[in-house]
Amino acid sequence: MRWAHCCPRRIPLLENWLIARPASIAFAVSAWIVAALGFALLFVLTPLYDTANRLPALQTTLEIVGGTLFVLAIPAALLLLTGMLLFLLLRDYAPFLQRLGWIFLFFFTVCFGAAIYFFSRYRPQRAAIFRQEMLPHLERLVSESVDSGPQAK
């Protein structure tokens, strides 16, 4: 219904994978790594970095931490960008212009836009999707426990 005008077929396996717990955990870890990279890049632009970089012990520490963060950020950014773009295209119910704005943000800020999208749109929508999908199951469990409650005593 939401993409009927451009995508006649839905891809339920891919849509369900995007909100599955393992994928959500992978996206969360990736988003935090990308956020840490962003904070590290902001730190490099401050005068405090120049001061710390002049001390040999801190220079080595900054190189090790920065290199490790950069190595971790490359696959994290690719995973996050791909996952958030797929979620945006397949599961997000925002108006077309808002989705188009997110796509521009993804590509102009590379992985940082995807991290912002993860924290501002993906997490709340994933929680809402699970509440909506789990509500019938919970109602059934509650009604079964209420029906069988007095008989068990």
Does 114 fall in a domain?
yes
What's the pLDDT tens digit per position in 114-153?
999 999 999 988 888 877 777 777 777 777 777 776 655 4
Instruction: Evaluate whether residue 117 is within a structural domain.
Output: yes
- Total domains in the chain come to 1
**38 occurs within a structural domain:** yes
**Closest Cα to residue 84, out of 105, 42, 114, 109?**
114
Nearest to 88 by CA among 60, 54, 57, 113: 113
**Has residue 27 been placed in a domain?**
yes
21 domain residue, yes or no: yes
In a domain, 72, yes or no: yes
Distance of CA 113 to the CA centre of its chain: 11
Classify residue 34: in a domain, yes or no.
Answer: yes
Instruction: For residue 16, give its domain range.
Output: 12-145
Average pLDDT per consecutive 10 residues, the chain (153 residues; last block may be shorter): 47 75 94 96 91 88 92 96 92 90 92 94 86 75 72 52
List the helix and strand counts (H, then E) for the chain.
7, 0
